[in-house]
Every structure is written in C-alpha cells, then in structure tokens.
Structure 1
Amino acid sequence: MKVRVCRETSRRRRVAWIFNTIWKFLFFTSLLIGGWAGTSRLLTKFFYTNPCYSICHVHVDSENVFSDEEIFASTGFHFGDNIFSVDLESARKKLLAIGQIRNVILRRVLPDTLRISIRVREPVAWLVSEVEDQKRMPRHVPVGSLLLEAAGTFYEPTRVLPRYLSLPIIQGVNQELLASGDPLVAEDLLHALDLLRLAAARRNPPISLRLLDLSAGYCIRALGESDEAITFSTQDFEAQLDRLQELMKVCEHSGRRIASVNLFVHRNTPVRFFGKSGKYPFFPTE
C-alpha cells in the first residue's frame, strides 16, 4: 500500500514539474516575442520612420578631387533617406570600386548628417603604351594612360588633377601582361619606379627624369628635364646617379649641355653634348 502511494506521489510530482517547465518556457517565449515586437514598433516609430532622422546634410572630404554631389550620387543614397536605414558598408564598397579612391570612412552624425571621408591614391608616374615623338616630352598624356603608385599598383584615373600632368611618364610596358601579373614585366616596372624615387631624392644638382622607356628590357632609356637622353642599367642606380651628378656639375662650370649619356658603361662613360643648333637628342635604335 505504501509503495503504491509513493509511486502515485512521484508521478504527480513529475507531471507537475513537466507542466511548470512547459508553462515557464511558454511564458518567457511569449515575453520575448512581445518584447521584440514592441521594441521593433518603437524603433520603427521613433527612429526608422521618424522624419527627424532623414538625411538632410552631407559633408564630403575628398581632398578636393571629387565634388560632394558626385560622391553622394556614387553611394546610391538620396536626400530624405532614413539615416539608420542606409547601408554604410554597401556604400563604402561602391566608392572603393572607383580606382582613384584608396580608402573611405562613412559616419552617421545624428540627427540628419552623413560624413564621408575619402583618401585618394597618390600617383608618382604615368604608364602609357607609347609616346609618339620620343625626341621631346608630349604636351598631353595619351588617352587610356594609367596612373602608377610607388608600390607599383596602377589604376585608370577618374579625375585628372593639374598636378598629375607634371608626373614622369613610363612607356614600353605591355599593359596586358602587366595586368595578368607577369613577374618579368612587374619587375621592370618596379625598377623604373625605384629609379624615379632615387632620382627625386637627389640634390645639388637635382635630377629630374621626365620619360622612361622600358622597351629594351636590359636597360632604361630616359629623358631628363632638358631633354637629355640618359641610358641606365637596371642595377646599382645609386652609383649611376652619382656619375650623372658629377657630370652635371662639370657641365655647370663649362656651360655645356648634355645631349646624351650612357651610364650603362662604368668607365669612360660615353657623353654627347648639344651643339650650337640645340637639336634634340634621340634614343639609339637597337
């Protein structure tokens, strides 16, 4: 008899525990659903559909390269859009798709302002397929030219700034092979960029290279500021620049102008000077 009573008591307790567990689960689930629904309605009412949080002002810092209207249109946003509903990450990806832009930061400034900070790429040279007249610097950059950064990355400019027009030009590179990642082409280009960097750091006298031709492969043929033709080896640029500066100092004292010089040769460096006619030098053919 006692055993039967104990079994009944245990069964009732087990049923009560199960019932209480299910009741508590349903209660807390209903509470969470109600809280979520209530919170969503409050957020929608006071934030997502509140006209006070509509985009009315856009501040763009693009280093004076792009206009505010151009950048805002590229994001896909519109004035009047809710500031909490817009997808900033999607807009950032759209702006980064513009090759001239390096980095983008978008911030919401409550209640109705969107701030866009843009960092543009800083090029060091032009990459062109070929310059028609190698005897002198071209007055205009050829159509379809690319801009180069110091690291060797290249891009097609969306906006050509006046300061870009004075950048040196690199030619003689197969752009299709470069885009495909050909290591030999990329190495030649990095050599040219390294030469430009080292030359730009030289003072007393300064060295300015305006055009680099990489078509020969084993050397770099350049045009200087005064249209002097300079042939560089692809190795030991520092020593070659030293010899060029020594030669420039001698020419300053003698009043002569260099027409062409072959720095590929270590000793008895071949040098030609401008005559009285002042004709432009030319690159020797292979």
Structure 2
Amino acid sequence: MKEHNEHNENEQQEEEYEEPSLEDFLAEEEESEEDQAQRVKKKRLIRLGVFIIAGLLLLQGVSSLFAYFSRDALELARTSEQVIQEEDVEAYMEAVVTIQGQGNRGTGFAITPDGYLLTNHHVIENRQPLAVTFPNGEIYHAEVVDAVEEVDVALLKVDGEQLPFLPLRENSAVAEEEIFVIGNPLTQTQIVNRGEIIENQSAYQTMRISNSIFPGHSGSPVLSAEGEVVGVVYARSVPGLWSGEERYGLAIPVEEVFHALPDLEEILF
C-alpha cells in the first residue's frame, strides 16, 4: 500500500513538473515571428514618412525657386536696377528693413536715427518675437510701441544708434506726383519701383498708387522725389475678372499715420 502511494506521488510530481511540449515552443516561436513582422512594418512606415517629408521639402524648395525666377520677380528686379541707375535712391534704401516673425516676412522702415520704425499692423500681428534686418546685415530685436488695426499701421522700436532713416512729410501727396516704393516683394529684398499718385484720400482714407505691389511689399515706404515718406503700402486692389480695371497699389497717407499714432509728432519733433 505504501509502495502504491509512493507511486502515485511520483506520478503527481511528474505531472506538476512535466517539460513543455514541442507545440509550446512552436507557439512562442510563432509569436516572435509576428513581433518581428510588426517591427519590420514599423520601420517601413518610418522610412516612408521620412521620404514624404523629404519630398515635401524638395517641392517647397522648387516652389520658392520658381517664385524667385517667376516673370513678376524678374521684371521687378529688372525695373529696380534701372531705377537705381537713373535715380539717386540708394541712400533711401539703407533705411528700409526686412521684418520677420513666426515664419512670416514683410517690410518696414526707420524714421529716426535711434531706432523707431513704421510698418503695417498685419505684418507684426501675433508674430512676436520680431527680428529687423537692415540692408547692411545688422539684425535687431524689435518691440511694438503702438499698433492700430483699423488703420493697419504699427510703430516699432529697436535698440540702435545713428541708424539710416527716412523723414516723414507733413503735407499730403497730390495726384500725379512722382513717387518711389522700396520694399521686399516675393522672395526679393531692396526692390525699387517708380510710379505716381493716382488719388489721395479716396474712400477709407486710402492713397492709390500706380506702382506694382506684390506680397512682401506690405509696410514699404511711399517716397516723394525728395525722399520724404508720403505713405505706407498695405495692399493692392483686386479688380473683377471682367471689369477691365487696372490693378493699383494701396497705401496709408502719411497724415493718417500721424492721426493714428498721436505720439509720433513728439518722437519726431
């Protein structure tokens, strides 16, 4: 009886410590292969994502290159070079800056030697911190002193001394007066074009100018033949498809700038 009990105990121990079967090993091996397949799939997805990002960056670069060499850009560069050769405007160009913030780019210009600048409200709206680059390569951090959305004008300040600047004219521009616009349209910088005042103080206190205006021109100074600022570019007209109207530039007259920024007279005078 004792031997029978010992035999049963041995069988129970054998059952409790029975070695894994071959099927168990195969099951583990099958799970491992599945995990491996998932890892391979994940790597392929990562590679695909990298290729897609690289492709998008390449397309963006090609698009920028195309914009740079587009017909409008080439024409702007050609006419700008012609104006620079014919007119004494290079001194004015030194005061026209590039304003960058949050991946956006526009134009502005210095109005005092100690670093006050004018631009459009929409150039700096929700785009701080702002970097201001002068044509000589000097870069400054700009603070917003005042900004008026309704007039689309903004006053900035950089910490600079003896900076090139443009004087503001106190009296209004007149129709057919010759003007220059200096700005950073499309992908270019320091582009000058010549035009004239079509109408001053039209609807909504807007100055119409004949100059070609493109994205990036926002905040550009409208200069008289004597180099005085008579307006600030903010947009261009968009005629109807079948209207037959010509496009024209839109600017804020300098007198409206003074009205919108009451501290300007104290700063300048």
Q: TM-score range by the shorter chain?
A: 0.3 to 0.5
Structure scoring higher RCO (CA < 8 A, sep ≥ 6) equals 2
State TM-score, norm by structure 1: 0.31
